[in-house]
Amino acid sequence: MRTVKKAIIPAAGLGTRFLPATKAMPKEMLPIVDRPTIEYIVEEAIESGIEDIIIVTGKGKRAIEDHFDRNFELEENLKGKGKLKLLDKINQSSKVEMHYIRQKEPKGLGHAVWCARKFIGDEPFAVLLGDDIVRVQGDEKPALRQLIGEFEETQSSVVGVQRVPESETDRYGIVDPLSAEDRRYKVRSFVEKPKKGTAPSDLAIMGRYVFTPEIFNFLDKQQVGAGGEIQLTDAIEMLNELQSVYAYDFEGKRYDVGEKLGFVKTTVDLALENEEIREDLYRYLEGKLEEIKLNI
């Protein structure tokens, strides 16, 4: 039985929604509480059993490589001060092999995944998008681990989906389901950002994928799609004609950190999970709520 040990994290986007902050800093390095956004994605991959990660970067993204590199001077400083918990935090990524490749031109998500084809070879692999952070509760498995479980059962490609309001379907790749078995869907077709009122369902692709290597046969075509870019969804649609691609409605709360309001919501929610600042932040938010009520 094949399983998934390699993952691609595309991180070559320009981050224009967060300018001017991203003029000199990769958007993936913008901090949520005390960790950069991309670290949450890497941690999910590690917790899902991934052993090798390749991050597809672009110009001006060197800070990502520096962040996941070892810093022996800092480590020795923390050891000397007995800050072992903090030392463990900064070394989380050492549990996985990190690799990097540059996407030399901004040709779209499909092209970014294609750039990592030689690293993947002839193996099944995962893709995690950096704009999507997924938090699970208690004993729930990480979102990617849920998809890997579906792959191990079906030996077919699986895309992660969740339901969205009909008014937002034009923002996502949308699944047209053929049949359903619990949370797994057999798919008739995949549609990239359908026009308002034309979406075949409310099941939106949410930044987590597991693919068989055959997906590269279609990404090799470099076919330009919506927005003048090489779309991953178009390659998934073509792969589905060759071999079944399933959709899985994964458990967990998904945060969109690729836009400002979603980033702020994520920061607040994750800060409320942080034992060091939870109580003070809660009291602050209560005070702000009272101020708002008084001004209404």
pLDDT tens profile 116-143 = 999 999 999 999 998 999 999 888 899 9
Angle at which helices 278-295 and 260-271 pack, to 10 degrees? 130
Determine, yes or no, domain membership for 285: yes
CA distances from 173 to 32, 79, 128, 168 (A): 26, 47, 15, 11
Let me know if residue 1 belongs to a domain: no
Phi then psi for residue 65, to 5 deg, are -65, -40
Conformational region of residue 70, where left means phi above 0, alpha means psi within -120 to 50, and beta covers everything else: beta
The reply to whether 177 and 263 lie within a common domain is no
- Distance between CA atoms of 128 and 109, rounded to whole angstroms? 11
The verdict on 50 and 90 lying in the same domain is yes
Does residue 47 lie in a domain region? yes
106 and 169 part of one domain:
yes
Instruction: Tell me the pLDDT band of 14, cut-offs 50, 70 and 90.
Output: confident
Do 277 and 191 share a structural domain?
no
The two tokens of residue 190 are 């995949």
Q: Are residues 287 and 155 in the same domain?
A: no
In a domain, 43, yes or no: yes
H helices present in 121-221, as ranges: 143-154, 215-219
* Nearest in space to 45 (alpha carbons), one of 12, 10, 101, 5: 5
What domain count does the chain have?
A: 2
Sequence-separated (6 or more) residues with CB below 8 Å from residue 9:
38, 41, 42, 45, 53, 54, 55, 56, 127, 128, 129, 130
Distance of CA 154 to the CA centre of its chain: 22
Q: Confirm if 146 and 246 have CB atoms less than 8 A apart.
A: no
For residues 35 and 132, state if they share a domain.
yes
Give the count of beta carbons closer than 10 Å to the beta carbon of residue 160.
28
Question: What CATH number should be reported for the domain holding residue 202?
Answer: 3.90.550.10
For 163-202, write each residue's pLDDT tens digit: 999 888 988 889 999 887 889 999 998 888 888 888 899 9
Residues 281 and 237 in one domain: no
Kindly state the tokens that stand for 84: 């072992």
Q: What pLDDT does 296 receive?
A: 67
Q: pLDDT higher for 229 or 12?
A: 12
Residues spanned by the domain of 112: 6-254
Same domain, 250 and 269: no
Asked if 124 contacts 215 with a C-beta cutoff of 8 angstroms, the reply is no
Give the C-alpha separation, 250 to 111, whole Å.
Answer: 26
- Residue 216's Cβ-side half-sphere holds a number of Cα atoms within 13 Å equal to 17
Is 171 a domain residue? Answer: yes
Rounded CA separation 71/64 (Å): 13
Specify the pLDDT at position 93: 65
Length of the chain: 296
Does 282 share its domain with 150? no
When pLDDT is cut at 50, 70 and 90, the band that residue 106 belongs to is confident
Q: Which of 185, 147, 191 is nearest to 172 (CA)?
A: 191
Inter-residue contact 233 to 189 (CB < 8 Å): no
Average pLDDT for 218-227? 79
> Are 121 and 144 within one domain?
yes
Give just the sign of the alpha carbon dihedral 63, 132, 7, 10. negative
Residues 20 and 45 in one domain: yes
277 and 224 inside one domain: no
Percent of the residues in the chain that have a pLDDT greater than 90, as a whole number: 57
